[in-house]
Structure 1
Amino acid sequence: MEKQPAKGDYDRVKEDLQLLREDLAALTKAVADGQKSNANSLKDEISRETRAALEQLRKRGDAALARATEAGSQTVESVEHKIEEKPFLSIILMFLAGIIVGKMLDR
């Protein structure tokens, strides 16, 4: 009769090992799914941050372009105003600048 309890213990251990294998497989699957989810979340977060950084960079670029355009317009208006104030002096200065550039290019 002692063989029966030993066989019953063996069967219980065998069943426990099978349950342990199933639990381990389920745990492994859950960890793998969690890792996939974490990777997707990280990818989405990086994409959002990249889009936000690019948008901020675009806004800064647009602002810098607007400032440069405004400064260029003001400079052109200033030069036009000075030419209108003293047209003869402007013509003489342009003539002299042309001569200087011509001499520099001859060398």
Structure 2
Amino acid sequence: MSDESLKSRVETWMVKQMPIIQMHGGTSMVREADPETGQVVVELGGTCSGCGISNVTAQNIKRDMYMEFEEIEDVQVKVPSTGDTGADTVEGGRGGDVQYSNESAGHF
């Protein structure tokens, strides 16, 4: 296992996933990556909101993260709706005003 934090490794992994997401005007942000619980929360933004295949993108991210990171036990991928606004940014063109609904943790 690397000395690099789980969040940093997940962010680096997401940057590799970004070309296809960005190609369609989407963004992503790693909100949480807890190595103790194995919980990862990724938020999609941009044109992912309202996209008819955002649920497919979310499922692909989940599946691939489970395969890539043995310490990950639970992945939540949130797709924007309304609600809180995040201002964190990371490399790869991700971040900015990503919003998600607080109504349901599994909201797509």
> Would you tell me which structure has more strand in proportion to its own residues?
2
TM-score calculated relative to the size of structure 2: 0.18
Q: Which has the larger radius of gyration?
A: 1
> Would you tell me which structure has more helix in proportion to its own residues?
1
TM-score calculated relative to the size of structure 1: 0.18
Highest relative contact order (Cα 8 Å, sep 6+), 1 or 2? 2
